[in-house]
Structure 1
Amino acid sequence: MADSRQQVGRGASQTANVGKAAIFDLDGTLLDSMGIWQEIDRRFFARRQIDMPADYASAVASMQTGAIARYTIERFGLREEPQALVDEWNDDAQLLYATAVQPKPHALQYLASLKASGAKLAVATSLPPRLRQAALEHAQMTACFDHVCSVDDAQSIGKEEPTIYLLAARQLRVEPADCTVFEDLLVAVRSAHRAGMKAWAMYDESSAQDWPTIEAEADGAIYDFAQAPATL
């Protein structure tokens, strides 16, 4: 594992120039948020005295919140409304994102170097507005981005579709071919490619089982933003 990490990062620099634009996912990419969602899921299932399946987190990782609620209700036979689940998760997440979430290693430095290079930066996230705003403020990233958009803004079912990346490119006024996407999910890497963009993968434990495939399909793969590309 150590050798792989060294090879990925070889020649990288924090003085970066990624061309015209970079588009970043939040959960699992810029933010080390796996522990937060583990705690939210733990609280949710504990309240209902349900054992959480081992595959639940990976099954819902690429979905937007409304889709996760519908999936959860159907899978576990819950007699609840989707919005009630969304509200419960948001209430738990609001506190944790505002007080506990941390950036991935060297994320802030890398964003600063991109900004200094003149690159345009956007967020493309599945998080709802109040959570992404709380997270960006707590992680001190708010001023880094020219635009922030979500799958809801793109009227998309999730990152299985390239719609959100194309929306971010339009907001930045940059052609898709001039955009580089940073993501942690296999479906997101594939969608970024379908949008005509480069895709760099950030390792996250939530997608560890897909990591060999992600490494094979992404344009580059990193464990730390100190390894992120100096040029693309």
Structure 2
Amino acid sequence: MKFKGAIFDLDGTLIDSMAVWENIGEEFLKSKGKIPPKNLSDTLKTMSFQESSKYFIDEFNLDLSVDEIIYEFNRMVEDKYRYEIGLKEGVVYYLRKLKSKNIKMCIVTATDKALSEIVLTRLKVLDFFEFILTSGETGIPKDNPEIYLQASEILGYSPNEIIVYEDALHCIKAAKEANFYVIGVEDESAREDRKEIKKISDGYIGSFEEINFK
């Protein structure tokens, strides 16, 4: 393998968690006595938590801060991360193989860092990664190439020495724009984008079990 580093997305790539977030916007608005618009999922699809929180405040006249809304989002899903969400197929085997080849790994995610650490610790894979970089701490959404460039800088390698694993189209586009080699990872949440993901990614896998090592 010619790569020295690997950047992994978390939700939908390493862990099978996207269903947890699928209706969270609707549930949140209903809890505030608001009627969710029919196209809410499409509206929120590429937003960071900061952006979606601001959207809720502006569009639904909520008397809450961005941080308060993010806190509520995290509280709504915490038990799922703490007790239920599992790894996708072949993840542990693949991470062990990368580690055996001295490839430095990290995670770039929109999910709260504490939630990320909770689920990865329970699943006994946290120690594979050098660090977790989140949109919340950087202020950079995952459709912005800069967050991947920041991760590469911390890893200590240039983009052409790093392989990125992502399931979402907008994230794959951002990583490609930053000149990374990108593997698209199949997830049911991205089924409508599958054709375009396969077109723009450098490779595409249904699971990590499909990747062969020499």
TM-score by length of 2: 0.90
Gaps of 5+ in 2: none
Tell me what 1:121 maps to. Answer: 105
Tell me what 1:36 maps to. Answer: 20
Alignment of 1:18-167 (within 5 A): 19-38=3-22, 40-41=24-25, 43-53=27-37, 55-156=39-140, 158-167=141-150
Q: CA deviation at 1:229?
A: 5.5
Query: For 1:194 and 1:37, how far apart are their aligned partners in 2?
Result: 26
Aligned residue identity for 1:196:
N
Distance 1:42 1:184, change over 3 A: same
Preserved contact between residue 18 and residue 230 of structure 1 (Cα < 8 Å) = no
Tell me what 2:169 maps to. Answer: 186
Identity of aligned residues (%): 27
**Greater relative contact order (Cα 8 A, min sep 6): structure 1 or 2?**
1
Query: For 1:160 and 1:204, how far apart are their aligned partners in 2?
Result: 18
SS in 2 for 1:31: coil
Gaps of 5+ in 1: 1-16
More deviation in 22-31 or 92-101? Answer: 92-101
Query: For 2:212 and 2:7, how far apart are their aligned partners in 1?
Result: 14
Preserved contact between residue 23 and residue 41 of structure 2 (Cα < 8 Å) = no
Q: CA deviation at 1:89?
A: 0.9
Distance 1:200 1:59, change over 3 A: farther
Distance 1:69 1:59, change over 3 A: same
Say what the alpha-carbon RMSD is for the aligned residues.
2.1
Q: CA deviation at 1:51?
A: 5.0
TM-score by length of 1: 0.83
More deviation in 69-78 or 24-33? Answer: 69-78
Structure 1 residues 61-99: Cα deviation after superposition (integer angstroms, max 9, x where no partner): 333211111122334443433222112111122222111
Structure 1 residues 124-167: Cα deviation after superposition (integer angstroms, max 9, x where no partner): 111122111112112221111112211234331x1121111111
Equivalenced residue count is 214
Preserved contact between residue 21 and residue 121 of structure 1 (Cα < 8 Å) = yes
